Chain A
Amino acid sequence: SAVISQKPSRDICQRGTSLTIQCQVDSQVTMMFWYRQQPGQSLTLIATANQGSEATYESGFVIDKFPISRPNLTFSTLTVSNMSPEDSSIYLCSVEVGGVTDTQYFGPGTRLTVL
């Protein structure tokens, strides 16, 4: 398994500003993921962050809006840029652990409210 921490746990931000969310894992992992969960909804994958390469974004998500860093095998950041109220969501970091029997574990999430 993996123990994942996220900072901040929650924030209230003004429209037009940016917020950077940090994700720290207690072990080295190859695959890290960032998800968004809008109120009352399931999880939607934003991007996959691999160390040493650019993040791979899912349809509907772009690097200018959600820049991601992955400087090493235990850490990643997601920035939500030029925020609007529609960006109010829970943002979740996730890691894949294993090889043949790969499994994903999630961090506690960052609850973002944009006014």
Chain B
Amino acid sequence: GQQLNQSPQSMFIQEGEDVSMNCTSSSIFNTWLWYKQDPGEGPVLLIALYKAGELTSNGRLTAQFGITRKDSFLNISASIPSDVGIYFCAAHFGNEKLTFGTGTRLTIIP
């Protein structure tokens, strides 16, 4: 089946640093989604991307839909304590089910 390889698996950064994570696949997708999950909560949609090459921002977050349609990245600028959590990429093609990445756990070191 389709797989999304998400990296890094975990990140330990200091407050104020920028963060970058990505997802890659051998399959082509036509929608990429980025979610954040806090402990004990459901995933919350951060950014949705629908077109190859699309670059979309949501506050300090920026995500891009790779031009090959096989990858996407998420950047967080000037991290703050509430950015802590697990970030998941997800993607699908047509009517196929959503495929999820394995997640990136972000920890901010005081």
Contacts and interface: CB of A to CB of B under 8 A. Distances in A.
A102 interface: yes
Contacts, number: 44
Given A42-B103, A43-B88, A43-B100, A104 B41 contact: no
Interface residues of A, number: 20
A111 B40 contact: yes
A92 B44 CA distance: 12
Interface string A20-62: 0000000000000100000000110100100000000010000
Interface of A: 1, 4, 6, 33, 42-43, 45, 48, 58, 92, 101-109, 111
Interface of B: 31, 33, 35, 40-45, 48, 50, 88, 90, 97-98, 100-103
11 contacts: A1-B45, A42-B101, A42-B102, A43-B43, A43-B88, A45-B97, A58-B97, A104-B90, A106-B42, A106-B43, A109-B42
Given A108-B41, A109-B40, 11 more contacts: A6-B42, A33-B98, A42-B100, A42-B101, A45-B98, A101-B50, A104-B90, A104-B98, A105-B45, A106-B42, A109-B42
